[in-house]
Structure 1
Amino acid sequence: MFTKLPPAVTALLLQFAAFALAVLSLRVAGQQVSALTFALLCGAYAAAFSYFAGLASWWLTIQFAFVPALVLMLAFDIPSGFFLAAFLVLLAVYWSTFRTQVPLYLSSNKVWQALEDLLPQQKPGADLRFVDLGSGLGGVLTHLASVRPDGQYTGVESAPLPFLWSWLRIRLGGHSNCKVHWGSIWDDKLGACDLSQYDVVFAYLSPVPMERLWHKARAEMRPGSVFVSSTFAVPEQSPHETVQVDDLHRSTLLVWRM
């Protein structure tokens, strides 16, 4: 049942189930507890349900903290305008997460540096062409544009605020060999998402779209080009090379040579 629903809908239904079970548990036990204790019980049930429902690990934290966070915010009597502002900011950052199931992940500086070694040498009469699918705040693009000025660097980002941030980062940084497009990586009308034009395709997305992205890469990328995924593997496809990055998250770059 749950596999047919978007994760956000599944998470909401599990919150309702957790609330009902928490109420039932306390009635059966004949216990009266504080609002915060009740909220923590709801969170524990919701996180457990989410685990058994197969939601991604980052959903477990959200599910556990959701009701306790509501209780604490109500207890502090925070003005309603704050919640509206917070909602609008989160909407601008996680605009497409509901549909794509790809949250905003930010690559570390050490990942940027590791990518330098995976870029092919410049070919006579041709610029290196690199694309970051889900380019976030543009850190990968601007870093590589600085250290390898012989290349052309393109980003694709669907969330409004990260797109605006990266666009300003590129413009204010004077990176003439760098650009970012606002749109979905699955949009056939967005020319930047035609992978046949790139020497290196980089993605730091989530486990959900990797199989679909692999099929797109296999269909479009040219022989000799390189596909790199940070952290997330392609199901049933062993990479030709892995690069372990010594950063806080112990990131791994998985490399396929097409």
Structure 2
Amino acid sequence: MPKIFLALFLQMLSLVGLAGLVMVAPQWIEPPYSAFWLVLVHSALVLSLTIVVRMNRWWWLIQVLLPWMWYWALMLKVDPWISLGVFILVVLVFANAFSNRVPLYLSNHVTRKALKKMVAEKFDLYRPVRFLDIGSGFGGNVFYMHQLPQVSESHGVETAPIPYLVSRVRQWFLKTFTGRLKLDANAALTKGSPEQDDLTQAYEENRVSSPKILARDLWKYPLIEYDFVYAFLSTEPMPRLWEKVVEEMPVGSWFVSNSFPVPGVEPTEIWQLSDRRETILYLYQIAPSHL
């Protein structure tokens, strides 16, 4: 059962339990009962059920907040159309949480610097790198990686409507007002030696296209053309995603997962970053033993 439907079922079950308590409570507590205490009991019931069925901890907060959001909406007499609009907006932003059980996680600048470091350390200097961000959100990683001279292609796949739309608008804006989205290789490298000049020319010749954000289902999008695939998803899709990675990505390529390791698979390397949330990157180099 998709987690969103399980969460709603637990909310309804908690309401049934609350109704039962209200029916028997007059034996000990004189009615009427304030809405505040009813919501408090409802929150406690739904939190208990959510823990019992072992939903992820981020669901605990959502389950507790929902009854209080309903409560404050009633207290403040919020127009139902506003509530509907907010609900639609949330669905459009977090659409992947309903289909693939993947919330919208955004990579920070420290993580992007680590990805840049990985390109420099894990790939041959003269080899063009093809990068893909699975679940690219607002496109920040895609645009950043395209600036690296060694990255010949930088793509992202995103199906949540609003993040996809925002990323496309960002792409148009940057093209329109900056002229291009990549740094000039001549500016990124210090000229002076024939080797450096050859490297600059090689980077320019290897540059294939502008960064692209694609509204494609990650399960149907082929990975065979990419040397470097990055994902910041959740625990739910990792086993299935790993099967796709080892089936499609070429030997020697790299798959990097932010925060969520592949169950039962030993990472090639683990990088602990020095940001506030102490991000962990799990690096997997595709080897013949994985096939």
Superposition TM-score, scaled by structure 2 size: 0.80
Partner of residue 167, structure 2? 166
Task: State the AA in 1 paired with 2:116.
Answer: E
2:151 and 2:60 mapped to 1: Cα distance? 44
Task: State the AA in 2 paired with 1:156.
Answer: V
Task: State the AA in 2 paired with 1:6.
Answer: P
* 3-state SS of paired residue (2:166): helix
Among 186, 192, 196, the alignment partner of 2:219 is 186
Task: State the AA in 1 paired with 2:227.
Answer: D
**Alpha carbons 1:36, 1:72 under 8 Å: kept:** no
Among 206, 211, 225, the alignment partner of 2:239 is 211
1:40-189 matched pairs, under 5 angstroms: 40-119=40-119, 120-121=122-123, 124=126, 127-148=128-149, 150-174=151-175, 175=181, 177-187=210-220
**Alpha carbons 1:92, 1:161 under 8 Å: kept:** yes
Offset from partner CA, 1:138-181 (integer Å, 9 cap, x none): 11111222244643100000101000111121222232631110
* 3-state SS of paired residue (2:83): helix
Q: Which structure is larger by alpha-carbon Rg, 1 or 2?
A: 2
Among 17, 20, 23, the alignment partner of 1:21 is 17
Task: State the AA in 1 paired with 2:159.
Answer: S
Residue 114 of structure 1 deviates from its aligned partner by 1.0
Partner of residue 278, structure 2? 250
**Alpha carbons 2:271, 2:282 under 8 Å: kept:** yes
For structure 2, the residue ranges without an aligned partner over 5 or more in a row are 176-180, 182-208, 287-291
Residue 127 of structure 1 deviates from its aligned partner by 2.6
Are 1:229 and 2:257 an aligned pair?
yes
**Alpha carbons 1:243, 1:254 under 8 Å: kept:** yes
For structure 1, the residue ranges without an aligned partner over 5 or more in a row are 188-192
Residue 122 of structure 1 deviates from its aligned partner by 5.5
**Alpha carbons 2:110, 2:274 under 8 Å: kept:** yes
**Alpha carbons 2:145, 2:151 under 8 Å: kept:** no
Partner of residue 189, structure 2? none
Partner of residue 190, structure 1? none
Percent of aligned pairs sharing the same letter: 31
**Alpha carbons 2:158, 2:164 under 8 Å: kept:** yes
Task: State the AA in 2 paired with 1:118.
Answer: M
1:155 and 1:55 mapped to 2: Cα distance? 29
Residue 84 of structure 1 deviates from its aligned partner by 2.3
Offset from partner CA, 1:9-66 (integer Å, 9 cap, x none): 1111111121122233344343343112211211121111011112121111111111
Partner of residue 195, structure 1? 223
Offset from partner CA, 1:170-193 (integer Å, 9 cap, x none): 222232631110021012xxxxx2
* 3-state SS of paired residue (1:228): strand
